[in-house]
Amino acid sequence: MKAAVLKSFSAPLDIQDLPDPAPGTGEVVVDVVAAGVVSYAANVFNGSRNYPLELPIVPGPGGVGRVRATGPDATRLKPGDWVFIDSTIRSRDNVANPEQILLGWTFRTPAALPLHRTYHHGCYAEQVLAPAENVTPIGQIEPADAGRWAALGRLLVPFGGLLAGNLQAGETLVVNGGTGGFGSAGVAVALAMGAGRVVVTGRNQQTLEDLVARFGRRVRTVRVTGDETCDRQSICDAADGPIDMVLDFLPREASAAQVRAAVLSVKLGGRVILMGGLRGEQGYLGLNYNWLMHNETTVRGAWMYGRDAIPRMVQMVRAGLIDLGQFELAEFGLDEANEAVAYAAANARPRQLTVLRPDRGAINR
Ligand SMILES: NC(=O)c1ccc[n+]([C@@H]2O[C@H](COP(=O)([O-])OP(=O)(O)OC[C@H]3O[C@@H](n4cnc5c(N)ncnc54)[C@H](OP(=O)(O)O)[C@@H]3O)[C@@H](O)[C@H]2O)c1
């Protein structure tokens, strides 16, 4: 099979032939049709993100495709089925405290290395091998729409956070960093789940206005200034009532003060879900013990999503609650993998979705 291979952090992806994968028991091989390219892929591939991963690797955390072959124990999947390939792989031999990796992307701890080495290559290839539980049917789709369905990867991440925070219909949610790729997808998903009001924070006025134009009057925006107290007041003013939940998607470049501005706005008994990228010094949020106790606040981290979120998201799309047409799609063939990575970095506005089509050689050349 043809694949885009990352051989070194200082070289572009190399398009080359690799042996076809073969499924064992509990495994599935999928013909990949579309795989999303995130805006920060270039920083993963040049090593500046310091993601733990072993080279060489075929990157590509998840995608959409058709089942090529299954292991002998498959009960539902059959060749030709359209499926979503979930990159979130959890160890099967430690149910109480599983190791976690992202297929073709990264592993978290050294204990996860056996998983990373087994389910190593991701979706920037004509075929991918995945555990059967990571391959979920999405029903019949047109091949031309596969790129849009790759948006599931974007939508599922905030859906995982909203489920972790138990968002209820009618509630008021703040999406901190809501103008970004995952944050703005979180706005769409929260509205689909019935949020009564979604307060979106960001620094870019134009992007904020675009979100209101796109999603309507349940969305309120706050252009943040960097002044924590002032930004918190603006968030509370925009909510115009108690804030039930905060979903934070701020990136690693953001500050703890930006997170606190939203976190400390929640009502008594409110929930805070942290999904962003803060680390190092900025990862120490400086939340006051006494405030947390008296405000009865739940602060919870969330990484990716549970597997049950996938069929639920497919149903939300099928029901018309989520419109995949909202994304501006840019598709690249496998031979154009490096162009796709550069394009994704330069076109990271919330609606924009860059997709690699391993079923095609070149689309734009
Ligand atoms: N927990 C998980 O499972 C999970 C999964 C995927 C990604 N993530 C993380 O989620 C974070 C967001 O990813 P993304 O792809 O949505 O990023 P993104 O598209 O770059 O969005 C980040 C947004 O944050 C805002 N922002 C606020 N302060 C900023 C600052 N100081 N520097 C840069 N931007 C700032 C920017 O909007 P304005 O310019 O309008 O302020 C930007 O739109 C990343 O850290 C990523 O690693 C987490």
pLDDT tens digits for range 245-286: 999 999 999 999 999 999 999 999 999 999 999 999 999 999
- Residue 365: the pLDDT is 83
Q: How far is the CA of 340 from the centre of ligand 1 (A)?
A: 20
Q: Are 101 and 112 in contact (CB under 8 A)?
A: yes
Helix then strand then coil, in percent of the chain rounded to 5, is 30, 25, 45
Identity at 71, one-letter amino acid code? G
Phi, psi (degrees; rounded to nearest 5) at 204? -100, 110
In CATH terms, the superfamily for domain 157-301 is NAD(P)-binding Rossmann-like Domain (3.40.50.720)
Q: Are 228 and 196 in contact (CB under 8 A)?
A: no
Q: Are 270 and 246 in contact (CB under 8 A)?
A: yes
Question: Which residue positions in the chain have pLDDT lower than 70?
Answer: none
- List the CATH code of the domain at 2-151+327-357: 3.90.180.10
| Top mutation candidate among 90, 155, 159, 179 for ligand 1, by most atoms within 8 Å of CB | 179
- Residue 164: the pLDDT is 98
- Residue 337: the pLDDT is 98
Domain with CATH 3.40.50.720 in the chain: 157-301
Domain with CATH 3.90.180.10 in the chain: 2-151+327-357
3-state secondary structure of 338: helix
**pTM given for the model:** 0.97
pLDDT tens digits for range 311-330: 999 999 999 999 999 999 99
| Top mutation candidate among 48, 50, 154, 182 for ligand 1, by most atoms within 8 Å of CB | 182
